[in-house]
Every structure is written in structure tokens, then in C-alpha cells.
Amino acid sequence: MATITIEIGRRGKKKERPVSFLICHGKTKRRIPTEISVRDSELSSNGKKVKEPMKAILIEKMRRKLEDRLMAMSLELVGQDVDASFIAERLIAHTGSIDFFEFAEDWMKHTSTTSLNNYRVMLNSLEAYLKQRKLPFTNITFSLLKGFEEHLKGKPRAQSMYLGLMRHLYREAMRRYNTDYEQVISNDPFMRYKVPRQQLKKGVRSLTLDTLLKVYNYNGRAHSRAQIARDCFILSFCLMGMNSVDLFNCRDCKNGVIRYNRTKTRGRRSDEAYIEVRIHPFIKDLVAKYRDSTHVFNFHTRYSNYSTFNSNINKGLKEVGKEIGVDDLEFYQARHTFATLSRNLMKFSKSDVDEALNHVGTMDIADVYITKDFSIINENNFKLIDRVFGL
């Protein structure tokens, strides 16, 4: 079983030594720092014990609490292969001092989510609201969540996303620290607090057929930001609303078929959001224009990362929009336009449009029995392109 000893650290700039508890288990060790520090005059002659009465009493009281907790943990640790770090983390959690920001940073180091940047932005926003980067889990209350929501007033997408990410991290912490024997994080404020849902205006982001053709007919300076943005917009529309991150990252293209896993949802789906998209002859020259040896497209050689690529596309589309008379033209409208024209112009079923967009289907049981066949949505896509561009 693990042992707990008092450790006196090295003397610092203020001529004081920090006091810690050293957890030893097998060949592993982990320190739990205290907020107590001592001067040499407050130590015994051998420097191993604190002789200053008040500090000695406080340290011993803290040690006994940790010892009691360690004994209580013995039942839940039976048969588990754990190290000193795991035990120390459990002991710290029991004191109620576990910090939301620290947990979040550690969780992000080990998760496979593709949305790490969203979590970082949320944490920075929460820090701005709190005016400090420290938040014990015991301080996360209904009132705090409502206050953070109010802080984000006027930003409906941020309200929905940031508080949803907070809820996910809170539940992840409960899974990590709570056991069948003990509820370290016993209160869940998200049982009362409901994360705001962003109210999207359906269809308003879609372009009309005439406006789409204006984008297509835009002819800017070769290799300019606006021209590349226009090309990416048309590529997205003709590749069934392919997202910019997937245009940037996709690598598999054989026999005229692009195969990829949709970045946004691949980590949340059993099929890893896999899809196959046939390249219509109409865009073969456009695909060839940006073809690459390691990726499907060479955007990764033109831009340092996906964020820079996406930012430049949208800046370029603002230039295109100004030229053709469309305010605030955005890349994601290509996906909305593909979906809208597929349904309203071509009368394709909503389920086929949903599948083409690589969304999670609602027919879960049927999907277990039916072998995936991408030819249906690709045939629909070819018909749409033929109709839209008069082929």
C-alpha cells in the first residue's frame, strides 16, 4: 500500500523551504504540495522535522486527513494496477481542491477529439469572465453558469458551444473521479442548468441558383486569394458540401473517387463519418489545378495550417461577394446551397440529402442491416451538377 511522508524542500529565494507530502507506491512517487513553507530556524537540528508549534500542528493535521483518506481508498483500489500519481490525484480530489482548468488541460492532453481549439477558446473566455484561471469544481454552480451565459450575451453560438463544452468536461471529471464507493464530485449543476440551444435560421444561408452561378462565373486574377476562394467554393458545392478542413486534409483519391472521414464528426460516430465522393467530369480540370502528390489537394503547401487556409478562403470570398453584389459571402454557404438545391430544385429525399452531407442518420436499425452504397448519393450529385450548370 502507498505511504505518505512529510518532505522539506530546498530553500528558495525568500530563504524558506516548501513543505510537501510525498506519496510512494511501489517504485513510483508523487508530491502533493502544501501552502506551508518554513525557515531553517523553524526546523529540527537535522532539518527533517518542523518544530514551529503552529505549523507542526497544521502539517500533522493535514497528514492525518490524507492517511485517513488513503485507508478509505484501500477497498476501491483492490486489484487495480495504479501508481503514486493516480493515488495522489484521488487524494487531492477528495480535498475538494481539484481545479476545473487543471483538469481540462490534462484531459485535452489525452483526448482524441478534433475540437481542441474550441476547448481552448472556451477556457480563455471563461478565464476572462472569472478574471483568473482558477476554478474549483465546488465553485461551479447554477449561478456561475448563468453568469457565464450572461457574459456571452449577444453571442448565441458561443453560449451554446462554450457551455456545452463545460458540461462535457464536468461529466468527464465525474467519470474520472467518482467511483461506486464515493462521489468525489457529488453535485452536478447541469442537472438544473440547461445549456442554451442555438436557434438557427433554416435555409437563410443558402444561395439562390442565380447567385451560385454568379460565383461560378467570377473570374479573378490567377492565383489570387479571391480566385482560390471561388475555386474552393465550387469544389465544395460539387463534392457534396465538403468542409474546408476536409479539402485541406483529405489524402485518398483513386479512380476518380475521393474517400475521407469527415473531420467534424469522425470521433463521435461508429462509422467514423466515412464517405466516398465521385468527381464529376465538370470539375476534373479544377481538381487537377490543385492536385497534390501526398494529399488530394495542394492547399497544405500553400497555407501553414487549416485555420489559415479557412481564414483566407473567407477573406477571398468577401472580395468575390463585393464583385458580384453578395454581402458577407462565406464558404459554408456552399454546403447550405448544395443541400437546399438538392432538395428544392432536384426534389431529392431529405434522407438522401442528409446522407450526402454525411450527417448521422435517424434510421439506426436499418443502417445495421443495409450495406452502405454511396452510388445513390453520387448519382444524385451528378444530376444536380448537370442541372445547375446546364450540362
In 3D space, the residue among 282, 270, 266, 261 whose CA is nearest the CA of residue 382 turns out to be: 282
Question: What pLDDT shows up at residue 93?
Answer: 65
pLDDT in tens, 36-50: 899 999 999 888 889
Q: Which cell numbers hold the place of 318? A: 468577401
- What are 266's three cell numbers? 469522425
Beta carbons within 8 Å of 222's beta carbon, 6+ residues apart: none
**String of DSSP letters for 310-364:** HHHHHHHHHHHHHHHT-TT--TTHHHHHHHHIIIIIT---HHHHHHHTTPPPS-H
SS3 content of the chain, % helix, strand, coil (to 5): 50, 10, 35
- Supply the pLDDT for residue 136: 87
pLDDT per 10-residue tile (average), the chain, 391 residues:
88 88 90 88 88 90 85 72 82 70 91 84 95 90 94 91 94 83 79 83 75 94 92 96 94 95 80 90 96 95 91 94 92 94 94 86 54 88 94 78
Q: What is the DSSP string of 172-183?
A: HHHHHH--SS--
Question: Residue for cell digits 472556451?
Answer: 122
Cα(233)–Cα(61) distance, integer angstroms: 66
- Going by C-alpha positions, the residue among 95, 113, 96 that lies closest to residue 104 is 113
Q: How many angstroms from the chain centroid is the CA of residue 86?
A: 25
* Alpha carbon of residue 15 to chain centroid: 44
The grid cell for 287 is 481538381
Contact predicate 276/262, CB 8 Å: no
By the 10 Å C-beta count (0-12 exposed, 13-18 middle, 19+ buried), 110 is classed as exposed
Distance CA 355, CA 371 (A): 14
Residue-wise burial string across 234-248, b where 16 or more C-beta atoms lie within 10 A, e elsewhere? bbbbbbbbbbbbbbb
Q: Which three cell numbers stand for residue 195?
A: 445549456
* C-beta neighbour count of 23 within 10 angstroms: 24
pTM over 0.85: no
The alpha helices in 152-256, defined as continuous H runs, are 156-177, 209-217, 225-238, 244-249
Which value, to the nearest 10 degrees, does the dihedral of the CA atoms of residues 360, 366, 367, 371 take? -150
Tens digits of per-residue pLDDT, 278-333? 999 999 999 999 999 999 999 999 999 988 999 999 999 999 999 999 988 999 99
Q: What percent of the chain has a predicted confidence (pLDDT) above 70?
A: 92
CA distances from 334 to 13, 71, 234, 279, 317 (A): 60, 61, 7, 16, 11
Q: Which three cell numbers stand for residue 319?
A: 472580395
